[in-house]
Amino acid sequence: MTAPNTNVTNQLTGSRTDWHTHDRFGLFIHWGLYAIPARGEWLRKQEKISDAQYQVYFDEFNPTRYDPRTWASLAKRAGQKYAVLTARHHEGFCLFDSKLTDFKATNTPAGRDLVREYLDAFREEGLKVGLYNSLLDWHHPDYPIDRLHPLRDSGVTRDDTYDFSRYVDYLHGLVRELLTNYGKIDILWLDFSYDDMTGEAWRAQELVNMIRSLQPDIIINNRLTTGHTNLKTGLQMGDFSTPEQIIPSSGMVDAQGNPLPWEACITINESWGYSSGDHNCKNPTDIIHMLVECVSKNGNLLLNVGPDPKGEIPDEHVDILEQVGRWMRKNSESIYGCGSSDLPKPEWGRYTQNGNILYAHILDKPMGPISLNGLGGRVRKARLLSNGTELAISKPWNAADCVDNAFFYLPGNRMPDPIDTVVMLELIGDSA
């Protein structure tokens, strides 16, 4: 195991990521042959499945109910602004019509380029589009049989004809195809580095140079040099960090303390790929709170679903996204274009902020007036975001001595939205 290669150029530029830090909420979609066995996308590794055993899924892959327009309209209704689809996961199967391999959707009973249909559908809804491409490949003969490989205990070994550089050429070739044949791609998600398979092992700088030359505006995640654990490593290369199944306790910053773009990727249940036995879903309240938490710390939420082998997003996940969408329809102004506030986290919830508009996300039912600590004399007006009604800034008799704070009461002392009641506060001056 060698240390991650940090000898690579940090490609961060402010403007490239502007849309991403504005949009805040995206849909991650893990879909591949692994949907059929329905035990998650790592099952080949976990169950040490041979190529021959896995071939069964390739031979029967036929998602007859795949209609990405339904995925796209769901994402739109949920308030998501972009999506990232696994064009190819660690299993090596391409959902697209690559010229570099036969292990692709067009050679299965599906017989279609599923990536193209996804891109068309999401663009039609006005959503930004992203593709995930694995750095690993458990199907390719030039990928090493290492500690993560399904064949690690099989007795199969690589012979003299094995050549990892041929694999890296192949990897670069796939990226070239995805960025050449499918129009403008907004995000490229490369996943992931581990052990000595990191940075220049992937010929990372050359790959990034090619990506930038083909699609100058694309944003790239940070995993050419990092793995799933990247809270500390942050951004050595790429445009945004990718904390996985975790929301960093205080956002993400570089060595100088400047905020870095980041996107927490989190599953709706506990699996990325379709897993028929996993019903341990986060509820809509959890998801809204996670989204607000990310934004309050200058981050995004990329929320994952795993469609089933027929091509449908599980009903449970659809229902959850619909409910998130109901909240977003009234409150998305407190998410899009927003980021952290300089004010400390309030005891009753969280703040998000956009210029001189501060959004108070009230998550805990208040006892008495809501206190806006430090904002005495600084709030021009307060409105319930969901319907625009006024909330009078008052000086409650029982807090009259707290002149540094501003106060308001929620109507009837109840939370109009028990999930998250958002109050829009127009501040006097530029920012809090």
Given the rule CB under 6 A, which residues bind ligand GLC? 30, 41-42, 191-192, 228, 244, 265, 272
Dist CA 339 CA 318 (whole Å): 27
Contact 95, 84 (CB under 8 A): no
Both structure tokens of 34: 């692994």
For ligand GLC, give the closer residue by CB, 112 or 228. 228
Find the angle CA(208)-CA(213)-CA(218) to the nearest 5 degrees: 70
To ligand GLC, the closest distance from the beta carbon of 223 in angstroms equals 7
- Rounded Cα distance, 314 and 75, in Å: 14
Find the shortest distance in angstroms from Cβ 45 to ligand GLC. 9
Give the amino acid at 400: A
Alpha-helical runs (H) found in 93-203? 114-124, 164-180
Q: Give the 3-state secondary structure of residue 345.
A: coil
Q: Please, what is the angle between helix 284-296 and helix 315-331, to 10°?
A: 50
What is the C-alpha to C-alpha distance for residues 207 and 350, in angstroms, rounded to an integer? 40
Round to whole Å and give the CA distance between 88 and 284.
29
Nearer to ligand GLC, 41 or 113 (CB): 41
Residues 251 and 231: their CA atoms lie apart, in Å, by 9
The residue (of 282 and 345) whose beta carbon lies closer to ligand GLC is 282
Shortest distance, position 263 Cβ to ligand GLC, whole Å = 10
Q: Nearest distance from residue 357's CB to ligand GLC, in Å?
A: 33
Structure tokens at 50: 């041979």
Report, in Å, the least distance between residue 28 CB and ligand GLC: 7
- Shortest Å distance, C-beta 229 to ligand GLC: 10
Alpha carbon distance 360, 346 (integer Å): 9
Between 68-78 and 114-124, two packed helices, what is the crossing angle to 10 degrees?
40
Going by the DSSP 8-state scheme, the letter that residue 274 receives in this structure is -
Nearer to ligand GLC (CB atom), residue 309 or residue 349: 309
Work out whether strand 187-191 and strand 128-134 pair parallel, antiparallel, or are unpaired.
parallel
Amino acid identity of residue 151, one-letter, is: L
Q: Work out how close the CB of 328 gets to ligand GLC at its nearest, in angstroms, rounded to a whole number.
A: 23
Smallest separation, CB 192 to ligand GLC (Å)? 4
Chain center to CA of 333 = 20
- DSSP line for 191-240: E--BTTBSGGGGTHHHHHHHHHHH-TT-EEBSTTS--S--TTT--SSSSB
At 53, which helix (H) or strand (E)? helix 51-60
Nearer to ligand GLC, 294 or 432 (CB): 294
- What are residue 301's DSSP bridge partners? 25, 264
Q: How far is the CB of 228 from ligand GLC (least distance, A)?
A: 5
Query: In this complex, which beta carbon is closest to ligand GLC, that of residue 34 or of residue 167?
Result: 34
Q: Which residue is nearest to ligand GLC (CB)?
A: 192
Q: Which is nearer to ligand GLC, 132 or 167 (CB)?
A: 132
* Closest to ligand GLC by CB, 86 or 298: 86
Residue 186 or 244 with smaller CB distance to ligand GLC: 244
Residue 292 CB, shortest distance to ligand GLC, in Å, is 21
Smaller CB separation from ligand GLC, 58 or 192? 192
Give 30 or 76: the residue with its C-beta nearer to ligand GLC: 30
Pairing assessment for the beta strands 219-220 and 187-191 based on DSSP bridges: parallel
- Cα separation, 424 vs 334, in Å, equals 8
CB of 300 to ligand GLC, least distance (A): 13
